Each structure stands twice: as C-alpha cells, then as structure tokens.
Amino acid sequence: MPTKADLEVTISELEHDVRRLSRSLGQAKLDLQELPERLVNYPRPQRSEQSSVAIDRALAEWSSMVEEPDQRINTYIRSMEGIGWTWEKEYVKNGQFAWCGAFAAFCYTAVAFKTRQKIFPSCYRLYSNWSQTSRRIEPRDMLPGDIVVVYSSARATWGDHITLCRVAPIDGKFETIEGNAHGTLGDGSHGEGVIARERSLDEVAYVYRLLAEDFDE
C-alpha cells in the first residue's frame, strides 16, 4: 500500500505532466491560429523564365550524381546559393537534415535570399506563407518548375516532401526532380539523393508557383 509520501510524489509528477501538456496545447493553438482557414481564389500566375533556369540547375545536379551523403548537399543547406543555414553542422550522415527544400532553394537561387532562407526549408513554411496567396496552383494545372509538395505516409496537413515538377501531368502522372529522396539517380541506377521520379497526382498536397516579386531584381 502506498504511503502518503509516495502519493505526494505521484501527485507532483502528474502536476508536472499537466503543466507540460498545457504548454504544448497552448503552442499548438498558437500554431493553429497562423494557418489559413480556407483557400482564396487568386488569379493564376504565369510561368516565369526563371522556372526553366531552375529546372536546368536541378538537372545539372541530378546529372552530377549527388548520392547520400554527398558533400555537395552542404551547398544546398549552408551556402548562400541554397538556404544559407550556416549554423547547421556539416552534412556527413544520411538523415542528418531534411534537405528537400534546401535543394529546391538551390535550384531557385535567383529567388531573394530572405525568401529562400525563411520559406523554402519546410513544407509547413511554404504552407503558412503561400497557401493563401496566388502562388498556390491546382495540381492539375502544374507546369515544369512549379514547387510540388507531396504526401508521404505521414500525411501532414501541409504535406511531407518538397519536389520540383519536371514534366507536367499526363494521364494523372507527372515527373519530378527532387532532393533527399529515393528514385533514379543521374546514372540511371536506383538510389537516394538528387533523383528523378514519376509521381501520381494523388500524392500531391500543394503546388506553388513563384511570382515575379519573389526574385531578386
């Protein structure tokens, strides 16, 4: 039978758990307030010349065989060409950093650095900043160069993985170039790194198309 002291310890631990859960709940409510209530129908932006440049840069990286955990990945994460997260440790181990958005930022290096650094790194940042703007495109209307966020098994509200459309949808399928993923490497073999892949429109969470104002003048 527990003593009074045992019960006091149990109560103290439960009170600590309640405080911790209350903090977590409060933070979740703050995060929820930042998310959009609904999609606003904005005019669809035109595809920019920079989207072709981005695909060319993506294909060049793919052809150069960037395979996990290639040192080249540090360029996407830590350099000013990518997201410029200089505080991140050198990438030396597969899975050390989720760099799919950093790869997209490197491909779109003409985008203003502040945007690449603050918005490109995650699906959540893309969603919270762009899902209620004219950058959001219907999946069936995607074009080469569009940023396509797809679902994985996790199926987060804002999507799970960032890719670039390489070939527009045909019969419900589209082709991508993406980083931090499994697929076809530049030499035609299957591996993990910068890869090419065919995906289904059923996998698409959100599609974003950059605006002229997003690029450096």
Per-residue pLDDT of the chain (217 residues; tens, 9 = 90+): 778 776 676 776 666 555 555 554 555 554 555 555 554 556 667 888 999 999 999 999 999 999 999 999 999 999 999 999 999 999 999 999 999 999 999 999 999 999 999 999 999 999 999 999 999 999 999 999 999 999 999 999 999 999 999 999 999 999 999 999 999 999 999 999 999 999 999 999 999 999 999 998 6
> What is residue 211's predicted lDDT score, i.e. its pLDDT?
96
Task: Give CA separation, 165 vs 29, 59, 105, 147, 159, in Å.
Answer: 34, 12, 14, 6, 16
Is 122 domain-assigned? Answer: yes
Report yes or no on 23 lying in a domain: no
Q: Is residue 25 part of a domain?
A: no
In a domain, 138, yes or no: yes
Tell me whether residue 44 is in a domain.
Answer: no
Q: What number of residues does the chain have?
A: 217
The CATH code of the domain that includes 115 is 3.90.1720
Model pTM?
Answer: 0.81
Domains of the chain: total: 1
Domain assignment present for residue 3? The answer is: no
For 57, the domain range is 49-214
Is the preceding omega at residue 69 within 30 degrees of 0, hence cis? yes
pLDDT value at residue 216: 86
Let me know if residue 5 belongs to a domain.
no
Q: Is residue 14 part of a domain?
A: no
